[in-house]
Structure 1
Amino acid sequence: MRKVPKLRFKEFSDEWEEKKLGDILEFKNGVNASKEQYGKGIKFINVLDILNNDFITYDNIIGKVDIDNNTVEKYSVTYGDILFQRSSETREEVGMANVYLDKKNIATFGGFVIRGKKIGEYIPIFLNKLLKTNLARNEITSKSGGSTRYNVGQETLKDVRLLFPILQEQEKIANFLTNIDKKISLTEKKLELFREYKKGVMQKIFSQELRFKDSNGNDYPEWEEKTLGNYINFLTGYPFNSKKFNEEKRGVPLIRIRNLLDSNISTYYEGEYENKYIIKREDILIGMDGDFNVVKWKNNGALLNQRIVKVFSKNNLELCNTFLYYILEKPIKNINLKTFSTTVKHLSVKDIEKIIVNLPILKEQEKIANFLSDIDNKIENIEKELEGLKEFKKGLLQQMFV
């Protein structure tokens, strides 16, 4: 077995040492309380706290439990302890781990969690990262048992073997990855701020609290109430033959309803098609079933599948196509959808045609569309930056650990 990582800080050269988790952690199952005890008292760590945080502190723990001081002491969680998910419906999530990094406050932990109390020498942030690597996850999940639910126990975790560098190298790796995490967190906050800014600006624009002026500094005419059906056309997606679908990138990418929010297309079509079903960048698409969405497509050259429509302005030059995208989302979300089966709701073209909106003249539409498009471009750039940082971190995790 290779005992050094592919990517390493130059001042370290020693091989990493294999250890069992039982050498550095003492394991215990969590406290079980009656339902009357929950909702008050001391914070207790549950599965969601493990799954939803990069690390756990007292402030970001969701739940509370009312237990006496002796029980708190018996089930205490302090700085550097590791928490594991005991069971899961999927093998991929069983034994997921997280670290407690609060030096001021003691917490406790619930019955679906196993605590690894720190008894050996390790850098807590390093171990948290190590336990999230593919090698560590495979080591844990391969030892899990169960059929309908997968489980890991204390004895299983004790026997998990992983490779550790000396403490100085652990600390160097932990600090480096922590800086990457901080940059990711800042980028996520930046993205959220831009999204909130766009939301607030759109509310002001479409309530006409915020108005644009023409090139001479004069007000544009008042907006007029219009029915969308007089201004828009539709192209309904085609029911392509599923026997000619593949996931091996042979043929033409196919937009399915699941791709509207995630444009990473995985389905390709090898059959014949009409060119009118090829979707281009910035085309406006609406998913017509269930949790439907209005999107401005981001890529070129994909085929439009059934249950999706492309909507576009008629060639009468009274409705800017990009402006159409911005006015569609809210009214469509408010349509009382018709149910065509017991579980799935369906949006019809006639529903969209009946939408009544306030429209400014074309020149003001274009100004609004350009203004909002600039914000969208900034948001898209931040999204790409964030995706790049996460991919960079993923690559580091694969190369900086053994």
Structure 2
Amino acid sequence: MKENKTKPDIRFKGFTDDWEQRKLGEIVGIYDGVHQTPKYQDSGIMFLSVENISTLQSTKYISEEDFKRDYKVYPQENDILMTRIGDVGTTNVMTDNTLKAYYVSLALLKYKNTNPYFLSNAMQSNYVQKGLANRTLKTAVPMKINKDEIGKVDVILTAAVEEQSKIGSYFKNLDNLITLHQRECNQLKELKKTMLKKMFPRDGSNIPEVRFAGFTDDWEQRKLGDVTQIIMGQSPDGSTYSETPKDYILVQGNSDIKDGWVEPRLWTTQMTKKADVGDLIMSVRAPAGSMGKTAYNVVIGRGVAAIKGNEFIFQSLIKKDIEGFWKKITTGSTFESLNSNDIKNSNLLVPVNEEQIKIGQYFSQLDNLITLHQRELEILKNLKKTCLKRMFI
């Protein structure tokens, strides 16, 4: 950003005046949370800390007596909370007057004449984030910004109340959309965890709790190596690796898998062991047991194995991972790993008819819904990043 820039790139129609530079301390009152760890209880006044900034909801509570003793100033509707220990500079706006307590890891910003949604997002701009970073004690563990330093940070804003209101409303609506998709995505993920428990047999049983109509037969135990082909990876010569597209996509571990699919990150010109389109990819090193699929023909390194299995097998292995099965059989004291025999000899309960296909289809559709919401969420988050750059200075 040029130092003499006084107007954002994008504005609502009708606004042309220069924006002005102010200190945060001139436009908000800044307050501290309690420094001592409170005495928690099951109900009472909700207690917020840095990890609660995205939702402003918590499962921790303190008594009304402690609240009255420790909080002469407390969050109210349209106030801003900002993280200041560990994570520095993330903000959120209070939406109601329900009493809430807050820890020292959060700073309370009480706005004076500034639209809170405008200011909260202005504080996410690169300009303000850089100012906060410059005053953050990075040598502290965890890093933090002192309360008095927050007020010294510069922010550039419009003095026009109507322009602040329009910008604030735009970002409030965008944040609500992001929250909606995040909530739906989280709910679908929780649904999947629940159905993995109910549609696969529990320990000691050979039939699941929930089944498709028409299926009553017991499931049968098989070893994974007997029902599918498993190929352990072999890393190419490191000198052949490239971050620009070459002959083959290289998969080395969990870092090459995003949202359950291989995502090209590295390439190689050397073919060692390979996996084909549609194969299942298992990480065999930390975190051992995490699963993905590949939509590419790939070279697999030592950190992964390729499994030629169907959708049912894929979901079965995901269930094992969620339940911590693989962690129980990993080897290595400092670097956990799974060997070929560990994987091949692992037991699976499987239906021996088309129930297997129906279960696979159900979870595939559920995964597609999750992916859809994740993509929408990513689009909205990227839109917000772009708007923060172009609608603020």
Scaled to the shorter chain, the TM-score interval is 0.7 to 0.9
Q: Distance in 2 between matches of 1:281 and 1:113?
A: 48
Number of residue pairs matched?
Answer: 375
- Which one of the candidate residues 295, 305, 315 is aligned to 1:326? 315
Cα pair distance change 1:268/1:331, threshold 3 Å: closer
Aligned to 1:178: 172
Aligned to 1:354: 345
Aligned to 2:204: none
CA deviation map 1:83-117 (0-9, x unaligned): 444444xxxx43x1424515423444433444333
Cα pair distance change 1:301/1:2, threshold 3 Å: farther
Q: Is residue 2:282 matched to residue 1:283?
A: no
- Which one of the candidate residues 184, 188, 192 is aligned to 1:190? 184
Deviation at 1:139, TM superposition (A): 1.7
Deviation at 1:288, TM superposition (A): 1.4
For the Cα contact (< 8 Å) 1:3–1:16, is it kept in 2? yes
Q: Is residue 2:267 matched to residue 1:269?
A: yes
Deviation at 1:398, TM superposition (A): 1.8
Secondary structure of 2:77's match?
coil
Aligned to 1:163: 156
Percent same amino acid at aligned positions?
22
Q: Distance in 2 between matches of 1:164 and 1:343?
A: 51
Q: Distance in 1 between matches of 2:212 and 2:99?
A: 55
Secondary structure of 1:122's match?
coil
Where in structure 2 are there 5+ consecutive unaligned residues?
A: 201-206
For the Cα contact (< 8 Å) 2:22–2:157, is it kept in 1? yes
Aligned to 2:113: 121
- Which one of the candidate residues 115, 123, 132 is aligned to 1:131? 123
Q: Distance in 2 between matches of 1:68 and 1:381?
A: 43
For the Cα contact (< 8 Å) 1:337–1:347, is it kept in 2? no
Per mean C-alpha deviation after superposition, the further-off stretch among 345-354 and 99-108 is 99-108
For the Cα contact (< 8 Å) 2:283–2:289, is it kept in 1? yes
Q: Is residue 2:155 matched to residue 1:152?
A: no
- Which one of the candidate residues 45, 49, 68 is aligned to 1:46? 49
Cα pair distance change 1:365/1:112, threshold 3 Å: closer
CA deviation map 1:252-304 (0-9, x unaligned): 43222232552575742344224x52x44431111112332342425324431
Letter in 1 for 2:10: L
Deviation at 1:121, TM superposition (A): 0.8
Letter in 1 for 2:315: Y
Letter in 1 for 2:389: Q
Aligned to 1:309: 305
* RMSD (CA atoms): 3.1
Deviation at 1:179, TM superposition (A): 1.6
**TM-score, length basis structure 2:** 0.81
Where in structure 1 are there 5+ consecutive unaligned residues?
A: 314-320
Letter in 2 for 1:173: I
CA deviation map 1:210-259 (0-9, x unaligned): 4446xxxx658654333332222211111233344344556643222232
Describe how 1:48-127 pairs up with structure 2 within 5 A.
48-50=51-53, 53=54, 56=56, 59-60=57-58, 62=60, 64=62, 67=66, 69=68, 71-73=70-72, 75-88=73-86, 93-94=87-88, 96-118=89-111, 120-127=112-119
Deviation at 1:182, TM superposition (A): 1.9
Cα pair distance change 1:84/1:324, threshold 3 Å: closer
CA deviation map 1:168-212 (0-9, x unaligned): 111111212222222222222322333344444444433444444
- Which one of the candidate residues 384, 387, 392 is aligned to 2:383? 392
Letter in 2 for 1:79: E
Aligned to 2:235: 239
Q: Distance in 1 between matches of 2:230 and 2:262?
A: 24
Aligned to 1:372: 363
